[in-house]
Amino acid sequence: MSDAVVETHGLTRDFGDKRAVNNVDLRIDPGMIYGFLGPNGCGKTTLMRMLTGLLTPTEGTARVLGTDLPGNAEGLKRQIGYMTQTFSHYRDLTVWENLDFAASVYGYPRKQKKSRIEELLTRYELEGQVNQLSGSMSGGQRQKMALAAAVLHNPRLLFLDEPTSAVDPESRRVFWEALFDLVDDGTSIIVTTHFMDEAERCHRIAILEYGIKRLDGAPPDLMAGLKAQVVQVEGNNLREAKRLLDATPDILSAAQIGARLRVMVRPEIADPEGLVRKAANLGASGMVTGTRANLEDVFVSATTGEAT
């Protein structure tokens, strides 16, 4: 028997004549953070909702924590946690009242409920907000409260739908540290994101576009296996240089990042720096150097049909 926490075969979901998720095969092993990376509307949330049993697939099957889907979703409820993209708790209740309500839903006895809530308040540094209405808290504080509610019952598998889309960078960093603590405690995590830096924190990712899984793997392996050469350009008239590069057949992409251009060149080109210099008409004034691929390069390559 497979020991995967999630395994899918041909998972597909249609909404009318629109195909939101298209024939996705996945295998997610325990003890990792697995990310779904892609733009808004690429099928990340739909895929996650099928894996939690909230949506029934149009075609295909899934096995989550040993439970076959579709059907049988009721048995999953006590084994999974789900943190939605938007804050879904009661804004007119305090932090304690929200967590107390969540604990009651999971059937915690009174004494056990109190100790578990106190444990989570300490773990997520919410002691100072215990009597604060959740609607008056900062985005980072609400995020920590929502995470506390999602893990209150010690789920084996935690689903997080773009959990840091509305918080500041420091809150995002603290949140991710909390996720790695959960993994150390034995929880497996699936997270959706459109942030490249967050995707790099995952043990493995799947890149999604138009509901199709374009690539999956560990971020370092995907970057090392990029089927393109990356060149960085510094100089004057970068907008004109980009226009010229965009019109060059052997240039896969060119993007301005601050005072530089980041250019991807087809892998078979013997002298990528020379090609870029000539195509961009830089002459002797521009600086052209090769550089290592990053995850954004992988994403661009995968979603323009250049990666396989």
The pLDDT value recorded for residue 201 is: 95
Instruction: Give dist(CA 37, CA 200) in Å, integer.
Output: 10
- When divided into structural domains, the chain yields a total of 2
Furthest CA-CA distance within the chain: 75
134 lies in which domain range?
Answer: 6-218
**pTM of the predicted model, to two decimals?**
0.90
pLDDT of residue 308: 39
Check: CB of residue 264 under 8 Å from CB of residue 251: yes
Please check whether residues 91 and 29 belong to one and the same domain.
Answer: yes
Taking the alpha carbons at both ends of the chain, their separation in whole angstroms is 29
List per-residue pLDDT tens for the chain, 308 residues long: 468 999 999 999 999 999 999 999 999 999 999 999 998 889 999 999 999 999 999 999 999 999 998 877 787 888 999 998 877 788 899 999 999 999 998 888 888 899 999 999 999 999 999 999 999 988 888 889 999 999 999 999 999 998 887 778 888 888 899 999 999 999 999 999 988 999 999 999 999 999 999 999 999 999 999 999 999 999 888 999 999 999 999 999 999 999 999 999 999 999 999 999 999 998 777 899 999 999 999 999 898 755 43
Pairing of strands 157-161, 188-193: parallel
Instruction: Please write the tens of the pLDDT for every residue from 200-210.
Output: 999 999 999 99
Residue 215 to residue 217: CA distance in whole angstroms:
7
**Same-domain pairing of 158 and 201:** yes
> What is the reported pLDDT for 307?
44
**243 shares a domain with 127:** no
Question: Is the domain of 63 the same as that of 188?
Answer: yes
Give the CATH number of the domain where residue 125 resides: 3.40.50.300
What phi, psi does 216 have (nearest 5°)?
-150, 155
**Phi-psi label, residue 213: left if phi above 0, alpha if psi -120 to 50, beta otherwise:** beta
Same domain, residue pair 136 and 274: no
Q: How far apart are CA 157 and CA 186, in angstroms?
A: 9
Measure Cα distances from 297 to 162, 186, 223, 227, 244 in Å.
Answer: 21, 32, 8, 10, 20
Judge if 43 and 116 occupy the same domain. Answer: yes
Are both 214 and 233 inside the same structural domain? no
What single-letter amino acid sits at 15?
F
**Residue 189, Ramachandran bin (φ over 0: left; ψ between -120 and 50: alpha; else beta):** beta
